[in-house]
Structure 1
Amino acid sequence: MNFLMYTFTVLLGAFLAFPASSAPERALPSTLKPEPHQRDPYDWNARHEAVRKRNQSVKPEYVMIGDSITHHWGGEPSGDSRKAGEASWEQLFGSHAVTNMGFGFDYVDNAYYRVQNGELDGISPRVIIVLLGTNNLGHRKDTPQACADNIEAFLRLVRQKCPSSKILLLGVLPR
């Protein structure tokens, strides 16, 4: 089994094993360190605050949580002049209230911190789409198991914050 297939299998297994109802509190994996990051030239804290404010005022139907792959796609809050896929974003989401919660260079740890600190508070999106892990595997060189454990903990937190939302976990894209 190649590395990507293994990673996808582990992540999918973690997701499928994750119950829809709130699970009892479990300790975070030792590899998960929820914290803001300082690795990118943009103001990460300002983006975090912009996402929080947007979600409170817009009450999105869909939320995309990810790293730069998501951030540079399109949508609001932007904070990004690239918007590499804005036309496809508009085609897919144009008639819906959507929040782009993608942050360049984010690890699962940083997304955990963001959700833990209010980005999903007070909202109940219809669908939460998660595309995380490539920076854990590629930049930080986490093992596939550590990445899967961190994503599983992240999904538990997302489920706790938005119990009625559907969660769509996407596999890590090839690098």
Structure 2
Amino acid sequence: MKSFRLALHLPLVAAFIVTVPARAEDGAAVAELHEAIKPTPRDGRWGERHKQINARIAKGNVDLVFIGDSITQGWEGKGRAVWQEFYGERNAANLGIGGDRTQHVLWRLENGNIDGVSPKLAVVMIGTNNSSRNPAEQTIEGVEAIVASLRERLPKTKILLMAVFPRGPNAEDPKRLENDKVNRAIAKHDDGEMVRFLDIKDAFLEKDGTLTREIMPDLLHLSEDGYRRWAEAIEPSLKRLMQE
């Protein structure tokens, strides 16, 4: 086996080239794209949610987008009041879909979720659902591909790349440990200008590293208080990046 560097249809963003394994077939090297970096749609209610997002984006007037999974979609549930308080007057759009992994977000970015808009800022928090299916190394590449896609498609949009939120009861939780590996790697893509990395785990965790059910009732998804902590923790960064 050997490896080669493959830019994922992202010629304008060389910094996010992803390394994937390759093999020789009929004298040629063929990339083995793992699922975390292969844009993939889902079925069922996911499709309806995707259409709803596209309909919102088609209306335009979008200065701020949140991109992610059920934790992001939850701004429309337990986080609704906090969203209205912090983002109701900021022309914000919620691009979260429950259950999404990196490959699903990649597909959505290619199929309407950001067409025709140029937000000031995109807040990205994705990857925790990959921890059940992919090793950290693949999740890292999936997150990198999302950032690269955004940089190519929305060159004027700044990105606030969030560390994957802590999960599980304590610091020894296996999935939290996987997410920690992801966070250490994606933090390196903070370029000080267009992509900024932010880890707000301290807003959620107790001093001993445990999570309480008051913040995350199922030790994964946020309560209303959890959404308030999220909003308050990123507010200084939002104001700065949106030049408010």
Q: How high is the TM-score relative to the length of structure 1?
A: 0.75
Aligned partner of 2:143 in structure 1 is: 151
Displacement of 1:58 after TM fit?
A: 3.0
Aligned partner of 2:45 in structure 1 is: 43
Q: Does 1:100 find its partner at 2:133?
A: no
Take 2:19 and 2:122, find their aligned partners in 1: how far apart are those partners?
A: 21
Contact residue 124 and residue 165 of structure 1 kept, 8 A: yes
Q: How high is the TM-score relative to the length of structure 2?
A: 0.55
Q: Render the CA deviation track for 1:8-29: whole Å, top value 9, x for unaligned.
A: xxxxxxxxxxxxx932495685
Contact residue 107 and residue 132 of structure 1 kept, 8 A: yes
User: SS in structure 2 opposite 1:153?
Assistant: helix
Indicate the RMSD between aligned Cα atoms, in angstroms.
2.0
Q: Render the CA deviation track for 1:8-67: whole Å, top value 9, x for unaligned.
A: xxxxxxxxxxxxx932495685222211124xxx61111111111211213311000000
Take 1:28 and 1:117, find their aligned partners in 2: how far apart are those partners?
A: 25
Aligned partner of 2:38 in structure 1 is: 33
The residue type equivalent to 2:147 in the other structure is L
Take 1:65 and 1:170, find their aligned partners in 2: how far apart are those partners?
A: 10
- Unpaired runs of 5+ in structure 2? 1-10, 21-32, 168-244
The residue type equivalent to 2:61 in the other structure is K
User: SS in structure 1 opposite 2:71?
Assistant: helix
Take 2:96 and 2:125, find their aligned partners in 1: how far apart are those partners?
A: 9
Bigger Rg over Cα: 2
Take 1:157 and 1:168, find their aligned partners in 2: how far apart are those partners?
A: 14
Give the alignment of 1:122-137 within 5 angstroms: 122-137=116-131
Q: Percent identity over the alignment?
A: 33
Give the alignment of 1:73-84 within 5 angstroms: 73-74=75-76, 83-84=77-78
User: SS in structure 1 opposite 2:67?
Assistant: strand
User: SS in structure 2 opposite 1:119?
Assistant: coil
The residue type equivalent to 2:72 in the other structure is T
Take 1:59 and 1:22, find their aligned partners in 2: how far apart are those partners?
A: 26
Match of 1:169 among 154, 158, 161: 161
Contact residue 68 and residue 105 of structure 1 kept, 8 A: yes
The structure whose RCO (Cα within 8 Å, separation 6+) is larger is 1
Take 2:41 and 2:127, find their aligned partners in 1: how far apart are those partners?
A: 16
The residue type equivalent to 2:153 in the other structure is K
Aligned length: 142
